[in-house]
Structure 1
């Protein structure tokens, strides 16, 4: 199997795992969303740190930490990214455990379009007319839902915006996926531990206080957080970004089907119209990126 095929498989499995995350978080809906989040942070750090030691990369982790400490701009960017991704995780967990699975699906469909807007704003990236048109169509879809419900679909927008901000903050920070996750969770670890002390003292803790199934699910959340991140990092090194972008839609598509077919969340003509706008926008955007990548490849071959 060549490197590109391996990359495609890695990407597919990463996004498929993320797509099936609602099944996991639904099993923990009896636990407070904040405790799930901070448990995920703690156990992600524990498992990634242990894994780093097992594979003999403890010295490289120290090098990463020294590098970040010497480069304060990157240090604070990664610290900010850690808190932003924690907010994203919390919103996603809250959405799934409070019957807003479809909102989370819409959020991750919208995310690439928000990201290209941020690229234009923060990195002066130029967008084609087709790409600008795709963003306009997606925003129209959000407007349809807003007018119908009388309120902005905050969960979808906050998921999309927070993940786009995370991408902006991490754009110029290149770290190994496993070591990067360990460092990111390390930034939030003191707050997670402090929160656990607080809820333990107030008697509202779930971990070790309900049943063994809950405890195991809380612990394993650290492993299921790390695995798709590692697969994603490997795929990003093996396949072009435009191809990775196509595969990206596996995740919100799985979430959409889970929300409609398994959890029976309402999918009326309004949701259909809004999602249709976003799907059309993504098709236009993806096609434009595909042809853009092909033109760039041809130009590089000529040179």
Structure 2
């Protein structure tokens, strides 16, 4: 592995580790409603992105884009999916569903396989289909044992999977894409925060300095892992990136079991085990295929 690839692994691993540690941050905001947390995350991420764009002098893409309504519409849809993903994740952490959130991101790579087959006409290989089948069996098992669909995991996996699909075919890079998405979401988020604050119902009106500081930190906390990820993804193969992505849900899983003591009965072990087996098959298949190539 050359020096540039080594840096790529470090950047990507740091990004996934940061995403895995997100529950520690959102638990600090347990007293703030999930929707308000997402509104703050949107606004302060926008402020941070504007600073980054100003420092890098990366504005040239914005003018031509304003004359492309189809592209703006596509990014408006991806922004809605991103906000739905954020809202579900924050709610899950605040309501002691960290394990369900980790399950969603364990499932996500296999959802990507299915989406690629349906929308991009990609042809998954046999072992990839086996992995998807094992994951589906795990979800079915968890549903039968609990009497309900693991909706948090499915919403997170589906929203982020479709979001990734839209970004895969988008014309903007990670930095510009996130900037545009937050630009589109910020007017609604800022108006909501303004209304809640004027009514005396927001953290800005009622919270102490510590709480407000935590909320302001949402901007760099959202943007920095994405910038690290983008830097890493440019330097390493997709196979390596695919293996590193399990860092995030693994950390979330460990936090849910050992720090937050969420219930993890034998029935859930079987369901998670099937999904972990699916990921093992998926990862090994990808590694073997890259070796053959």
Give the structure-2-normalised TM-score: 0.97
How many residue pairs get matched? Answer: 292
Task: State the shift of 1:132 in Å.
Answer: 0.5
Q: 1:148 aligns with which of 145, 148, 160?
A: 145
| Per-residue CA distance 1:150-206 (angstroms, 9 max, x = gap) | 111100000000000101111122434333222110010111011112212332111
Cα deviation for residue 139 of structure 1 reads 0.7
Matched, 1:260 2:261: no
Confirm or deny that 1:47 pairs with 2:44: no
Within the alignment, does 1:111 sit opposite 2:108 as a pair? yes
Query: Which residue of 286, 289, 295 corresponds with 2:286?
Result: 289
Question: What is the Cα-based RMSD across aligned positions, in Å?
Answer: 1.2
Name the SS for the 2:29 alignment partner: coil
Aligned counterparts of 1:238 and 1:73: Cα–Cα separation in 2:
31
> Which residue number corresponds to residue 299 of structure 1?
none
Corresponding residue number in structure 2 for 1:14: 15
Give the secondary structure class of the aligned counterpart of 1:238: coil
Q: Tell me which residue corresponds to 1:217.
A: 214
Q: CA deviation at 1:122?
A: 0.2
Q: 1:132 aligns with which of 110, 121, 129?
A: 129
Residue 66 of structure 1 and its aligned partner are, at CA, apart by 2.5
Would you identify which runs of 4 or more consecutive aligned residues in structure 1 move more than 6 Å? none
Aligned runs of 1:220-239 on 2, under 5 Å?
A: 220-239=217-236
| Structure 1 unaligned regions, length at least 5 | 297-303
Structure 2 residue runs without a partner (length 5+): none
Q: Is the 8 A contact 2:132 2:278 kept in 1?
A: yes
Pairing of 1:142-221 with structure 2 (within 5 A): 142-221=139-218
Distance 1:237 1:247 in 2: 14
The answer to whether the 8 A contact 1:208-1:215 is kept is no
Note the C-alpha offset of 1:113: 0.4
Show CA shifts across 1:135-156 (max 9, x none): 0110111111101111111000
CA contact (8 A) 1:207 1:218 kept: no
TM-score when normalising by structure 1: 0.93
